[in-house]
Amino acid sequence: MTGPFTAACIQNEAVADMDASIAAATELVRAARGAGAELICLPEYFSCYKAAADAVIVGPRAEPAHPALAHFQALAEELGAWLLLGSLAITAGPERIFNRSYLLAPDGAIAARYDKIFLFDVDLASGESYRESALIEPGGRAILAPLPWATLGLSICYDLRFPQLYRVLAQAGAEVLTVPAAFTKTTGAAHWHLLLRARAIETGCYVIAPCQCGDHGGGRATYGHSLIVDPWGRVLADGGADPGFVTAEIDPAEVAKARRMIPSLDHDRPFAAPEARAPAVRSA
């Protein structure tokens, strides 16, 4: 563990035109680097995202042929910065994709890959319906990645609702958690801040959560409000509702401090699960 570093969340509004999305994200990455960011994190599907009535356009490509991956590898090397590509759609076979996050080192090399584990299959009261399992091949492995300053634990969007993943990451050594997202405006307004702060408090980790913003068509909008949260649950930066970027200082010493005060990661105990109960039968 070394001293503090500066992290950034990029908040963009991706479109179906991948070239246009890449260009807009690149401009924001350059600006964040100019502001001193050493770890720059982009949202889920930042390079291509458009919704229609019966489909979501995310621009899947084979990994070696994905233009966003090659472009941002070159940009990481040019800027000498760590980049988290929140996620790209990577082909996983006929009509299947991986929702895959990449950590790129300052020389452009791929330092880590993570495939989203938990899939967003929900029907909201607003009428919005999502079935990620119809397209996405889930991952099956939690991923840690060492940075020069701290250890990173990777996740994507809907993973946020599964605290067991973050506890495993923290107990394995994560000090900083990344949660790139395209969180819906409906669920974001209700739960985004609460869940991210809870994950930080539960694990004693910093949480860096870049989120897309804007209207993507098909009745779907993303929430924005990219957040950086400290290990005590304090929001250090909030990206609001519009495209841009935010930065905050990440001090690994604060992780150790929070965990000394509340060492809950060391307090797990075995316990017996309750037996499942049959639904109560109600008389007429």
The catalytic residues are 44, 116, 157
| Pairwise CA distance, residues 122 & 186, whole Å | 12
225 Cβ contact list (under 8 Å, min separation 6): 188, 192, 193, 211, 213, 238, 239, 240, 241
253 exposure class (CB count in 10 Å sphere: 0-12, 13-18, 19+): exposed
**Do the bridges between strand 235-238 and strand 144-146 make them parallel or antiparallel, or are there none, so unpaired?**
unpaired
